Structures are given as C-alpha cells and as structure tokens.
Amino acid sequence: MSTYAVTGSASGMGAASAARLRAAGHQVIGVDLRDADVVADLGTAEGRAHAVREIIRLADGRLDGVAAVAGVGPQLRDAGAVVSINYHGPVALLGGLRPALAASGAGRAVVISSNSSTTVPMIDEELVRLLLAGDEEAARARARAATAALPEEIAANSPSISAYASSKFALSRWVRATAVTPAWARASVTLNAIAPGAVVTPLMTGSTMKEEDLDADRFPTPMPLGIFGRPEDIAFWVEQFLRPEARFTTGSVLFVDGGTDAAMRPRAQPTAMTR
C-alpha cells in the first residue's frame, strides 16, 4: 500500500482521483477547505504551511506521491486569489513535501494545469514572470489590475480569465523547469502536469449552468471527440503518473482535453530545436 496526498479532494477531479487511489488499496490523505483529512486554505501562506505539516505528520514523514489538484476557475472575481490558489498553492505545497517524497525513494508528483494555458489568447507575460519569480504580492496586484481593464462582455462571465490562463501557463513552466533540477530528478522524484480541457465539474458549470445544457458542438473551443470530459478521465491519468512504473517520465505536460489543443494548434508540437 502506498501513501498519497490529494488536494482538492472534496469535489470534482480531486475527489475522483482520491476515490480511484483508495479503490486501488492505497492510503489517501485528502486536503481541502472542508470534508478532508487536512482542512487548509491553499490560497494563503499559513494554509499551505499547515497543510504541509499535517500531511507529513499523517504520512509519518514518507510520501509515495502527491496530486495537487485543487484550483479555482476564471469565474472567481478576485483575480489575486486565482493566482495564489492556482500557482502559489501547488508550488509551495510541493516544495514543502519534496523531502517526504524523496524519503520514499521513488516519489511521484503531478499537478493540474489547463489547456487554457495554450488555447486562451490572454496570457499576461508580466504576470507569468512575477509568478515564476515567486513574488506573490506583486502577482496578485498585477492580476487584479488586468481584470479591471477587461472589456465588460468578458468580465461579466470570466472576470479572472487572464489570471487563470496565466497562472496555469506559469504552473506548466514551473513543472518543466523544476522537474529536471537535481533536487527533484536525482532524488528520483518525478514531477509532471496534466492539462485538462472541458471537464464537467462544479468549477466548469458554476452555479447557474446545468449539465444537460452543455453542447460540445456549440462549445467556444473545438471539441473533436464531441464529448465533454469527466472527473474520472483526469483521475485515470493522475493514477498513472503516481504509479511506481512511471519512473522514466518527468517534466511532461499531458493534454487531456478531447483534442482541443491539437485542433487549435496542430503545428505547435513538436517543434524543432533552433540554434
């Protein structure tokens, strides 16, 4: 039996991931704002520190894997909170848990990014720079300023769309850069990201949209398979990245989006190295 920590375990993709791992016979330490083994707000430095301490305590200092699934969507009106939760939350949590992952001798970590990082043309490069530099307060201020400048028709439904896409973009960049550093790679700790597309969760539907009203053929972005994802579709890949057999995979960003990214950017990957 392995011991895993899963953030966002109370609902959506986090709940599906925790359930799948438990069904396989593993111990799962759930982390969320409620209904979890560790109740913590990953949008704050204090909450992250508390989560790290409690996870390490419950795991007796040794973790086989971490799935950083918790996140919020572009509907949240506080863009500052979006970048704190979506970027600084997983980055600080995984940084704090890295020694416990290394202690297992074959730690596995996976984070949830988003295909919005490549399919939404509102990436704020300065915000990305601030996030990767670890300047949380400046990043929060930048995100809020960008939201205030949005056209009204966008702000009405997705007030934090730029902060959301930019935070997920930065998270994917962090994964690729961090996974290959000696502190992670030479400690046999793998680090990967999953970039979901349109997955039917409370985060996607919000408080007003009903699942039966969703139509893949009328969705704003291409849906080549003609279906929406389910939390279980993401949980499947979470489990694969956390398996001991995933020893030779690190620094990867896997799109699980029904083909949306491929349809919108068919020539984006692979790209040849230039001198």
Mean pLDDT within 244-269: 97
Would you state the pLDDT for residue 206?
60
| C-alpha angle 189-92-86 in degrees, rounded to nearest 5 | 105
Band (pLDDT 50/70/90 cuts) for residue 73 is very high
Would you state the pLDDT for residue 208?
43
For the chain, what percent of residues have pLDDT higher than 70? 96
Q: Which residues of 241-268 are buried (b: 16+ CB within 10 A; e: fewer)?
A: bbeeebeebbbbbbbbbbebbeeeeeee
pTM: 0.95
Mean pLDDT within 111-133: 96
Mean pLDDT within 94-106: 97
Band (pLDDT 50/70/90 cuts) for residue 75 is very high
Q: Check whether 101 has a pLDDT greater than 50.
A: yes
* Contact (Cβ atoms closer than 8 angstroms) between residue 82 and residue 161: no
**Does residue 4 carry a catalytic annotation?**
no
Contacts of 248 (CB under 8 A, 6+ apart): none
Would you state the pLDDT for residue 245?
96
Would you state the pLDDT for residue 158?
87
Band (pLDDT 50/70/90 cuts) for residue 251 is very high
Can you name the residues that pair with 253 across neighbouring β-strands?
Answer: 193
For the chain, what percent of residues have pLDDT higher than 90? 86
Q: Check whether 212 has a pLDDT greater than 70.
A: no
Q: Check whether 171 has a pLDDT greater than 70.
A: yes
Contacts of 49 (CB under 8 A, 6+ apart): 96
Q: Catalytic residue among 4, 87, 164, 255, which?
A: 164
